[in-house]
Amino acid sequence: MGITVKIQLLVALVPLGAVANAQTAKQRNDTYIATAYSQTGITASGAWTHRHVVAADPGLLPFGTRIKVRRAGRYSGEYVVADTGAKVQGRHLDIYLPSTAECKKFGVKHVSVKIVELGNGTAAATKQADKMMKEEVQKDISKGVVGNAATEDDWATRPKSRSLNNKLARHNEPPAITNSQQR
For 5-16, what is the mean pLDDT? Answer: 38
Asked if residue 171 has pLDDT above 50, the reply is no
**pLDDT in the model for residue 136:** 92
Residue 68 is predicted with a pLDDT of 96
Query: Per-residue pLDDT for 103 more than 50?
Result: yes
Interior CA angle at 114 toward 102 and 41, to 5°?
40
Would you call 169 exposed, middle or buried from its count of C-beta atoms within 10 A (0-12, 13-18, 19+)?
exposed
In sequence order, which residues have a C-beta less than 8 Å from that of residue 57 and are 6 or more positions away?
84, 88, 89, 90, 91, 92
pLDDT at 21: 52
Q: How confident is the model at residue 153 (pLDDT cuts 50, 70, 90)?
A: confident
Domains of the chain from N-terminus onward: 26-167 (2.40.40.10)
Rounded mean pLDDT, 16-40: 72
Per-residue pLDDT, averaged over 117-140, amounts to: 94
pLDDT digits (tens, 9 = 90+) for 35-73: 999 999 999 999 999 999 999 999 999 999 999 999 999
**More confidently predicted of 63 and 149:** 63
